[in-house]
Amino acid sequence: MKFISKFLASVAMLLIIAVGQSTAQNSSTIKNLLNVKDKQYDANRDSAYLDPYYGLKKLIIGNLRFAEDKSVRPRQTDNDLKNAGQGQTPFATIIGCADSRVPNEIIFDQGVGDLFITRTAGQVMAEASYGTIEYATEVLNTKLIVVLGHKSCGAVDAAMKLPANPPGHVVTLINAIKPASLRAKQTNLVGTDALDYAIKENVIEQVNLLRGLEPVLSRRSESGEVLIVGAVYDIETGYVNFIEETITSLAKFQSKR
């Protein structure tokens, strides 16, 4: 009887942990640094454009709405689409994966003109991507850049498996992601754990690449004028989890580490 009680208690604890993992969004450290309150569902758009730290908070709150089925679908009317011809002031640039299951405006619950987006498989970047990102920074004055990976990423999975004869230019994607996949293999993780590790490492590598990209982003990132951070979208839960080390390493938070 005593053994059964202990067994049931262990099962209950595992269920609690599993539920917590499936519903968790971002770490308490990130929430404290950005002053995100529990169950906060609203953030002002104008402040997001002026202040990239607030813009980051707005993305977290918008994703919370989406993941908890409370989306408000802002600025998505016919008038919003027609008025977009007058210009654009996106408060964030998203470098995301081309995967059809990761629609950026929807998962962040944003509207027309809010997000400047470039997408490729595995969010792999090259000269055209760099120019696109720099255009948003220099011309549109967008101060927040988010590299957004996602779970179950086929491009990262391909890099993990290293197929002998990948078709066409797919090899370009695999080679770009290969450093992250090799680090994942060195951990001795298996299955989805190894893939998840590689996905996160790939995002971190891309964040560091952009932070050091000359001549535009490196200077603006170092000064704190432009924030470059990373996140991973969980397709099953709907939550976007920002990678803590890419937040705590921002200039404003260096002294709080």
Distance from CA of residue 173 to its chain's centroid?
A: 19
In a domain, 9, yes or no: no
Tell me how long the chain is: 257
pLDDT for 78 equals 79
Q: Does residue 20 lie within any of the structural domains?
A: no
Amino acid at 190: V
- Residue 128 CA to residue 77 CA, distance in Å, equals 31
Return the C-alpha torsion angle 128, 200, 99, 216, nearest 10: -20
Find the domain containing 178 and state its range: 29-256
Domain assignment present for 6? no
- The alpha carbon dihedral of 226, 108, 54, 33 has a sign of negative
Tokens 């390493």 sit at which residue? 249
User: Does the residue 5 lie in any domain?
Assistant: no
**Does 178 reside within a domain?**
yes
How much is the pLDDT for 256? 63
Count of domains forming the chain:
1
Cβ burial, residue 169 (10 Å; 0-12/13-18/19+)? exposed
Contact (Cβ atoms closer than 8 angstroms) between residue 234 and residue 226: no
Assess if residue 240 is contained within a domain.
yes
As a whole number of angstroms, the distance between CA 114 and CA 83 comes to 13
Q: Is the pTM of this model over 0.75?
A: yes
What's the pLDDT at 257? Answer: 56
Spatial contact of 123 and 149, defined as CB atoms under 8 Å apart = yes
- For tokens 């993305």, what's the residue? 59
Position 10 in a domain: no
Instruction: Indicate whether 58 belongs to any domain.
Output: yes
The amino acid at residue 210 is L
The series of mean pLDDT values per 10 residues for the chain, 257 residues long, is: 45 38 71 90 80 96 96 85 81 98 97 96 97 97 98 97 90 96 95 97 98 96 96 98 97 76
Secondary element (H or E) of residue 228: strand 227-233
237, 239, 244, 250: CA torsion to nearest 10: 160
Tell me which amino acid residue 43 is: A
Residue 152: give its domain's CATH number. 3.40.1050.10
